[in-house]
Amino acid sequence: MQRVVRLAKKFNVRVGAHPSYPDKENFGRSAMDIPSEVLIQSIQEQIAGLVSILGKEQLPLHHIKAHGALYNEIAKNAELAELFLMAIADYKKHTLIYVPYASEIGKKAEERDFSIAYEAFADRNYNTDLSLVSRSHPQALIASPKAVLKHIVRIVKQHKVRTLTDKTVKLLADTFCIHSDTPSAFEIVSYLSKELPNHTIRIKK
């Protein structure tokens, strides 16, 4: 974490916390049935660990975004969304919350005056209910840099996403996620850095 924070400082990249279920074995991508107080404590400890490093490097925490299964769960589970907001309440005044469009966490965060940014996924396909296509599906990922660019431009300019069933659904996005473990992640980011300025769109990083 310290190495990544120092790289972010060197290249003027904003830093965000990415807390998940305490599920190291599955990289936070499996939901866990754990007591509320245990989940809250875990989320707070994960964020505090990063904030401590940021303090030493004199950098602010720019945003908080849930990861993996927790991200997907708070998008549709209002009670769990409330729990997540309780866990991050100390960061409410100065930190953005990245949330999916039309989600429970987005609605709850707005009701409680959190500052939010809508996030969409640049390297993932969507279902018609705006959930992500399961990683077990062969077309879950968008691996081609050109296809990713087309996907992003449609969302930004048309406020719509084309789903796996070839339908278009409304989707707003202020920022886009590209997963570091997508095999072509480096090629995608490099291509977008070169091509996005040609499309006269600006997105938050």
CATH number of the domain located at residue range(s) 1-114 in this protein: 3.20.20.370
Helix, strand counts (H, E) of the chain: 7, 7
Low-confidence stretches of the chain (pLDDT < 70) are 200-205
Note the pLDDT tens digit of each residue in 142-194: 999 999 999 999 999 999 999 999 999 999 999 999 999 999 999 999 999 99
Distance CA 164, CA 169 (A): 11
Q: Which two tokens stand for residue 91?
A: 């960061």
* pTM for this entry: 0.91
Q: Which residues contact 40 (CB under 8 A, 6 or more apart)?
A: 83, 86, 87
Instruction: Tell me phi and psi for residue 60, to 5 degrees.
Output: -85, 160
Cβ atoms of 172 and 118 closer than 8 Å: yes
Provide the residue ranges of all domains of the chain, joining segments of one domain with +.
1-114, 121-205
Q: Which two tokens stand for residue 3?
A: 């190495």
